[in-house]
Structure 1
């Protein structure tokens, strides 16, 4: 490539990264429905199943599975922190969040069958319940002299869930 061609390619990649790198318009369409589009694209573009998906429902399911997996990842992190906590107040807060995030994971896991069988009313109800439990964990740290050690992860989960719900709402 000559220098001018390289420069034009880099500029195009900078201006239109998703259009150039996104190999399927279905991912672009699905992520276009979301508030956190960059996170959506960042999650789905590298996924081989997303690239091979032929329906929006398949993309929604894949997005949903990433959300469920993130919830269980956070549960495991809270559990590990709880087991290593020395301070009783800190341990109790971590224990509460461990419980709440186990519940979030379990709710999302059970929601999968609603989604699989297109029961979107059931999906919305369960996703709302998952949100309530996420918020309960956040409330555990309010007014305490310490903050959640996983606030970045829990915020990301909230965004992932929002993205999954946004895609599901377009089915």
Structure 2
């Protein structure tokens, strides 16, 4: 039986741009065992949401020690970006429960844009959040890849 579930995870992630991350994310969640594609999409969405919350914590920590005005300004913008992303991912979860998949796509895409906007705020130098922002974008992309199979 677990083999079938493994196949469902592989199938669900087959259209993702970040297949390895997709499979790793889904397999790491115990509730993926026996989940439907809809359930896997929810797990992927929760992983993206968890990532956004983690990044908010990193931003708060970085703001405590930042001295450079441009970095502080960029981090403050990131705080707003990730506040928006978290709200959009919360709305996405409600939409997913209601099976309004086009709304999920709209809000997850908006959340991805917020992550990109955070990264773009560090034009003057190196972003301390590049890896986290990139990972967040990949997690959101995986949500879209799975959700698109539910339409």
TM-score when normalising by structure 2: 0.91
**2:39 pairs with one of 58, 61, 73:** 58
Q: Helix, strand or coil: the match of 2:99?
A: coil
Q: Deviations over 1:121-142 (max 9, x none)?
A: 2112212221222222122112
Task: Write out the 4+ residue segments of structure 1 that deviate beyond 3 Å after TM superposition.
Answer: 20-23
| Partner Cα distance (2:138, 2:69) in 1 | 31
Flag structure 2 segments of 5+ consecutive residues without an equivalent: none
Map residues 2-13 of structure 1 onto 2, 5 A cutoff: none
| Partner Cα distance (1:152, 1:135) in 2 | 12
Q: Which has the higher contact order (CA 8 A, sep 6+)?
A: 2
Residue 166 (structure 1) aligns with: 145
Whether 1:77 aligns to 2:58 is yes
Q: Helix, strand or coil: the match of 2:120?
A: helix
C-alpha deviation, 1:88, in angstroms: 2.0
| Partner Cα distance (1:22, 1:97) in 2 | 41
| Partner Cα distance (2:148, 2:43) in 1 | 15
Residue 15 (structure 2) aligns with: 33
Contact 1:79 1:95 (C-alpha < 8 Å) held by counterparts: no
TM-score when normalising by structure 1: 0.81
Residue 156 (structure 1) aligns with: 135
Contact 2:115 2:136 (C-alpha < 8 Å) held by counterparts: no
**What is the aligned residue count?**
149
Flag structure 1 segments of 5+ consecutive residues without an equivalent: 1-19
Q: Deviations over 1:95-145 (max 9, x none)?
A: 111211121112111211001110012112212221222222122112x0x
Contact 1:76 1:98 (C-alpha < 8 Å) held by counterparts: no
For the aligned residue pairs, the C-alpha RMSD in angstroms reads: 1.8
In terms of Rg, which structure is larger?
A: 1
C-alpha deviation, 1:89, in angstroms: 2.0
| Partner Cα distance (1:22, 1:39) in 2 | 20
Map residues 22-171 of structure 1 onto 2, 5 A cutoff: 24-53=6-35, 55-142=36-123, 144=124, 146-171=125-150
Contact 1:44 1:63 (C-alpha < 8 Å) held by counterparts: yes
